[in-house]
A and B are shown apart, each in its own frame.
Chain A
Amino acid sequence: MNWSTLYAKAIPSLLAGTSKRPLPDDLIPTSDANSFAEMALLSLTGQGLRFERPPGPESFVIEPDIKDERKIIADGLRRPLIRLLTAKGTTEHPARALARAFDRLRLRPHPFDLPLIDAFVRSHAERLGPTAQHWADRQKPEAQTQSYFDPEVLDESSWAQAAVSRRVAYMERRRREDADSARALLESTWAQDEPEARFRLLQALQAGLSASDQPFLSTLEKDRAPRVRALASRYLARLGSGGENPALRECLERIKQGESGVLRKRKALQLELPANVKDQAAWRWVRETFVDVSISELAAALGVNDEQLIEAAGKDEPLLLSLALTTTNDRRLDLLEVVVKHLPNCWERMFESGLDTLGMMTDSERERWQEIIARPYGKDLPTNYYAWDWLHKIAGVAAPASVMSMVLQTKLLANLPERERGGAPWLEVMAAVCPATQRQELRGELSDFDPSQSVNALALVDILDGMEKERTHV
């Protein structure tokens, strides 16, 4: 008897049970029909099954062809990177700094490491290149995925395939060069974009906004995404073709106008907070109220120019904060600099207001923005960890060299007040914001700490140095 015959005859009885379906007589003669013979047959069949080769599937999935032109990170950095990103108690700071470095240096994680640093890849996929984006999207339905192509140089034919952040940067550059053709390009792909991408691309339209954008913006008043509709209305109001900006009206209702000065009368403005908004909630209320208003709109409505508006705010802290927020939102860093002269603790006030984005600012603008809000502190930089945590999160770039110099000169880490020691990951945040040129100096400071405290921070600066060195050697 061969295996297939045994299989066909024995398996049905063994599965159903020999009491219900006795084994065929030619397998166990009636005279031998006892339990031992049945069990011997069980063993024989079981052993026969072990020799069956596993049946493979008829066909396999065809894996997508991903064109990833980025260079894979050096082998020597892979293990330290995995160790750092999966270390016990590690914070978001190393991940943010590493994602930035990957993006800036046009590097990508090794494909084999993606499953091991899955949480990092999902959080920062856009900065890690097409292979990582494909990994992060692998659970999404096919309809929601993209082409996973991230060309080195974007042009009109390839821009729609790149990551959103690069598309936004490209659109903004094109708007400055030729606003109308850039808008036409945006219009050509508008229908295919996701709401988040539409919103971010629409933000880029702010550059070179003019009356010729009005027809396109009018069509967006019926967009499916509320954020897109709101932004389009705001642009239209700014162009004078939409209705009155309701946010502006609300702001003006709260600004009390008066005069100050004895010899020379000057306009004096004061922001009146609602009676039910007190203490810490005040800064948050200011941000929420002024979020959709530009400084020029405000100045025009109050009959002054931008500089006079700041001057008129005088020493009214809530109003100065509102101006700091609007100048930040409008990327008017020249005006922010003036506001900060009147509001030296602008950094902490903006942090307390819950500001969570610098919008379309470029990397160099972000650096300058940090420099402006940190300058008034001089040697007395904040020793509140959450202020630094916020700064790193919102700026999304390294700190300017001048700020880091102050951190190092004043030995901020070594001189932290007692309440700040131990708990908060100060060393990690400083390693993450430290510019490349000052890492060696920071390394010296870090080495004074217990190795168990500095291990992640030191690993981060080593990896960042390694990535930069690798890129310069390409």
Chain B
Amino acid sequence: MSLTLERIEALAPDQASLAAARKLLKPSTWPTLAGGDGLVWGECQGSGATPYRVVVSEADAGYKCTCPSRKFPCKHALALMWMRVEKSVAFVPATVPEWVKDWLSRRRGSSAPAKTEDEAEPKPRPSIRYAAIPEAEESTDPKVEQRAAAARERNRLEREAAVQAGLEDLDTWMSDQVQRGMANFVAQTAQACRTIAQRLVDAKASGLAGRLDALTTRLFTLPEPARPTAAIRELGQIHLISQAYRRTPELPSLLSSDTRQAVGWSITREALLSDPDVLRVDAHWRVFAVISEAQPDRLRRVETWLSCEGIAEGTPQYAVLIDFVPVSTVAAVGGYLSGDRIIAELAFYPSTIPLRAHITNLNGGAEQSRDAIALPQQTLADSYGRYERALAQLPWLSTFPLCFRSAHVRRCGEQLYLHDEESRLSLPLHNSQNTQAVPLASVGQIDGIGLWNGYEFTLAWAETQLGRWLRS
């Protein structure tokens, strides 16, 4: 059964989805549109940090999209089908890319045939005809706008006051922990942190609350003897942020922005993109890691790490695109795969050490490349030195990319280390890699890149004599 407009209407979950899909029919929204072997696929620049990847099987209208929508099919899949049927846009003939093949190998068989009209619940059928009616423009009454601005300011002031009160509570709690001692704290971390984290959530200091919530997990991934000193590091850092927040007017503007973000003041995508002063870098980028992690708040944090190719002096060498999707959705990883190459302009969130960014302009779609990653001539020790300098600038710096040349993966018991012979620097690899990275211990020198979180190194990419190794 091939795709038709009637089929799209039958598939659409509601009229709103069709209306939303209609807005995506502009080719400019789609950096990539391609087809081959009975499939069509594309990349759609949505509100996420990374573009959504959509694929549709023409034979049975099977579909997959990396967006976090809970509507099936989502507006992106509907728009792709719609464009295909109307033939209003050219789909470039291409070989099926790896991410599409991955989907094909994992997809279930065709679902059961749709209920007949008699069996189905009577409901109004979405219609493309109605979706084509343009919506009335939103009114922009200046008085309404003024009232909204005043309300926003009132909310901001209320939140500032709530945060300050929350920080007072935090001080009291922290003082108790120091008096009881870190050895004692480690024994009851979960219980100790839960209450204060909840109080900070109520005080709208979600950044600090998140740090305290994650503290239990972080400590328990470490070997037992290392936990009390790690608790000193972590609680010391939280106290530092809370003190810095009270002094934001005295801090340089970028550090002040870092402090507010660490406490929980987020910068919206719209605010970032509309700010003419934010750092923007238009370059060729290589995806070197995609890390997906479920958070305690039932959101999945998907980090897409990029390395800049052809690094210009003074511009950030690395960037991370961060998406949050509900844990319950199937989008466990972002749209990009390690090895993808994109040409894009990124806007960086204001920071002393700019890493987090958002794509502002994509020049074409992502291309999977077998080329070796471009790495500067740095040893692991050189890179670690850069990390230390960055840490001096931003004391609560969390994850930082380290690239290296001529290092070795070495084993001691079950634990793997990334080892630099010359400086004798050994970084323990993340526990989750103690199986996957074992073969690297037998290949001699490697060049590569990974992420250091202050405790463990997540090896993301290695160029070896046996070819490329990628974290999976």
Identify the A interface with B (CB < 8 A): 11, 14-21, 35-36, 38-40, 42-47, 49-51, 53-54, 56-57, 59-61, 63, 66, 72, 75, 79-80, 83-84, 87-88, 110-112, 114-116, 118, 135, 138, 422, 450-453, 455-456, 459
Contacts and interface: CB of A to CB of B under 8 A. Distances in A.
B312 interface: no
Given A19-B179, A38-B178, A46-B234, 15 more contacts: A11-B229, A15-B181, A15-B229, A15-B232, A39-B178, A40-B243, A42-B178, A42-B232, A43-B240, A44-B236, A53-B384, A56-B424, A79-B101, A115-B439, A451-B38
B179 A18 contact: yes
Contacts of A36: 171
Interface in B402-430: 410-413, 415, 417, 419, 424-428
Contact of A63 (B57, B411, B436, B467): B411
Contacts of A50: 233, 237, 391, 395, 454
Contacts of B469: 112
B175 interface: yes
A35 B243 CA distance: 14
B333 interface: no
16 contacts: A19-B181, A20-B181, A40-B243, A45-B236, A46-B232, A50-B454, A53-B425, A54-B428, A57-B417, A60-B412, A66-B442, A112-B467, A115-B435, A135-B438, A452-B60, A455-B107
A99 B442 CA distance: 24
A452 B108 contact: yes
A95 to B, nearest CB: 15
B143 interface: no
A61 B411 contact: yes
A422 B111 CA distance: 12
B104 A455 contact: yes
User: Which secondary structure characterizes the binding site on chain A?
Assistant: helix
B182 interface: yes
Contact of A47 (B240, B411, B467): B240
Interface string B439-470: 11111000000000011000000000011010
Given A54-B426, A60-B419, A452-B110, A49 B395 contact: no
Interface residues of B, number: 67
B410 A17 contact: no
B165 interface: no
B62 A452 contact: yes
A17 to B, nearest CB: 3
A114 B243 CA distance: 49
Given A46-B234, A110-B467, A87 B105 contact: yes
A457 B63 CA distance: 21
Interface of B: 38, 57, 59-60, 62, 98, 101-102, 104-110, 171, 174-175, 178-184, 228-229, 232-237, 239-240, 243, 370, 384, 388, 391, 395, 410-413, 415, 417, 419, 424-428, 435-436, 438-443, 454-455, 466-467, 469, 472
B466 A15 contact: no
A49 B59 contact: no
Nearest to A111: B439
Contact of B425 (A15, A56, A112): A56
Nearest to A20: B181
Contacts of A51: 388, 391
A37 B232 CA distance: 15
Nearest to B418: A56
A307 to B, nearest CB: 51
A305 B105 CA distance: 56
A39 B467 CA distance: 50
Nearest to B408: A60
A75 B105 contact: no
A115 B175 contact: no
Contact of A45 (B105, B232, B435, B440): B232
Contacts of B391: 50-51
B388 A14 contact: no
Give 5 closest A-B pairs by Cβ, nearest first.
Answer: A46-B236, A56-B426, A17-B181, A35-B175, A60-B410
Contact of B105 (A39, A40, A84, A135): A84
Contacts, number: 171
A455 B105 contact: yes
Contacts of A88: 105-106, 108
B179 A17 contact: yes
Contacts of A14: 178, 181-182, 232
Given A11-B232, A14-B178, A14-B232, A47 B237 contact: yes
Contacts of A39: 171, 174-175, 178, 239
Nearest to A35: B175
A116 B182 CA distance: 40
A455 B228 CA distance: 52
Nearest to B381: A53
Contact of B439 (A11, A47, A61, A114): A114
A16 B183 contact: yes
Contacts of B106: 87-88
A72 B467 CA distance: 11
Contacts of B425: 53, 56
Given A39-B178, A452-B109, A63 B441 contact: yes
A53 B424 CA distance: 11
Contacts of A66: 442
Given A42-B239, A47-B395, A17 B439 contact: no
Contact of A46 (B60, B184, B233, B413): B233
Contacts of A83: 101-102, 105
Contacts of A42: 174, 178, 232, 235-236, 239
Contact of A15 (B59, B183, B467): B183
Nearest to A56: B426
B244 to A, nearest CB: 10
B284 to A, nearest CB: 23
A111 B467 CA distance: 10
A181 B370 CA distance: 53
Nearest to A138: B438
Nearest to B424: A56
A116 B181 contact: no
Contacts of A35: 171, 175, 178-179
Contacts of B424: 56
A209 to B, nearest CB: 44
Contacts of B232: 11, 14-15, 42, 45-46, 49
A111 B442 contact: yes
Nearest to B427: A54
Nearest to B370: A75
Contacts of A459: 105
A42 B178 CA distance: 8
Contacts of A72: 466
Nearest to A46: B236
B315 to A, nearest CB: 26
B471 to A, nearest CB: 11
B228 A15 contact: yes
A116 B236 CA distance: 39
A325 B388 CA distance: 73
Contacts of A456: 105
Nearest to A51: B388
Contact of B466 (A40, A47, A111): A111
A169 B108 CA distance: 42
Nearest to B244: A43
A21 B175 CA distance: 14
Contacts of B62: 452
Contacts of A49: 229, 232-233, 236
Interface hub of A16, A79, A112, A450 (most chain B Cβ within 10 A)? A112
A83 B467 CA distance: 19
A110 B465 CA distance: 12
